[in-house]
Amino acid sequence: MRQVARILRVVFFMASLMVFPCCRRDLADQQHHEPMEASSVFPDGSASRTPPEHTLARGQLHEDVLFYQGKMGGDHAAVFPAPVTRAQLERGRERYDIFCSVCHGSAGVGDGIVVQRGFPPPPSLHLDRLRDAPPGYFFEVITQGRGLMYPYGSRVEAADRWAIIAYIRALQLSRHATLADLNAEQRKKLEDSAHE
């Protein structure tokens, strides 16, 4: 009897040795779906789902029409949802440089690297038409796209879209600044740099 137990123990030990590499693999690749992993469960083969039509996740009701649609009384909002701050402008510059400058160029004239490689140039952001356009118009174009421009609503958060619009306003202003806009200190700095 003890002999049998000993043999069984040896067999069990050897079997566990054979199983060991499999265990490692099971733990390294466990039975759950990682973001965007392939899945046999759904017809499109993707584990990540897009929400079914006419449904919303919690926190995505987005009732604030001005903030999430750039609209006021059915028209493009002529104002920003909140006063523009320096931090927002800096955030806007960063996001503009990431997402917009590839086509619109870092100064907004429509000469980005992708345009240089053959994409039809977008209109300059310094056209009178766009200087006069309300912030809500830019919000709509960024969110939904326009012409050859694809929508960025799913790629750039609403708050960042507003920051980008604020920065576009700064870019537009930069082409129309006059000496009178500067205070004494800034004017001196400008004059010094002109003499260098």
Partner 1 sequence: MALPALVLGVAALAWAAHAALFSPYATVVGVPVDQPVPFSHQHHVGELGIDCRYCHGGVETSGFAGFPATETCMTCHSQIWRDAPMLEPVRQSWATGKPLRWKRVNDLPDYVYFDHSIHVQKGVACVSCHGRVDQMPLTAKAHDLHMRWCLDCHRTPDHRTQPSDQVFVMSDPPPAKQAPTAHGTRMEDCSLCHR
> By CB under 8 A, is residue 59 in contact with partner 1?
no
Q: Which of 30, 40, 55, 60 binds partner 1 (CB under 8 A)?
A: 30
Tell me: does residue 196 bind partner 1 (CB under 8 A). Answer: no
Distance CA 159, CA 165 (A): 10
Nearer to partner 1 by Cβ, of 32 and 58: the residue is 32
Q: What is the largest CA-CA distance in the chain?
A: 105
By CB under 8 A, the residues from 156 to 175 that bind partner 1 are: none
Q: What is the smallest separation between the CB atom of 88 and partner 1, expressed in angstroms? A: 17
| Of 8, 10, 14, 38, the one binding partner 1 by CB under 8 A | 38
Measured from the CB atom, the residue of 10 and 98 that comes closer to partner 1 is: 98
Residues 86-125: x/- map of binding to partner 1 (CB under 8 A)?
-----------xxx--x----------xx--xxxx-----
Find the distance separating the first CA and the last CA of the chain, reported in whole Å: 101
DSSP state for residue 71 in the 8-state scheme = E
46 binds partner 1 (CB under 8 A): yes
Distance (Å) of CA 117 to CA 19, 57, 102, 104, 111: 55, 39, 10, 13, 10
Which of 154, 178, 183, 193 binds partner 1 (CB under 8 A)? It is 154
Other CB atoms within 10 A of residue 192 CB: 9
d(CA 163, CA 67): 12
- Using CB under 8 A as the binding criterion, the count of chain residues that bind partner 1 stands at 28
CA-CA distance, 18 to 16, in Å (whole number)?
5
Q: At what angle do helices 158-174 and 135-144 cross, to 10 degrees?
A: 130
DSSP track, 37-50: -B-SSSTTSBSS-P
Cα gap 147→149, rounded to integer Å: 5
Query: Per CB under 8 A, does 11 bind partner 1?
Result: no
Nearer of residues 73 and 147 to partner 1, judged by Cβ: 147
Of 8-16, 31-39, 75-83, 177-185: span binding partner 1 (CB under 8 A): 31-39
Residues found near partner 1 in the complex (CB under 8 A): 27-30, 32, 34-36, 38, 44-46, 97-99, 102, 113-114, 117-120, 148-151, 154-155
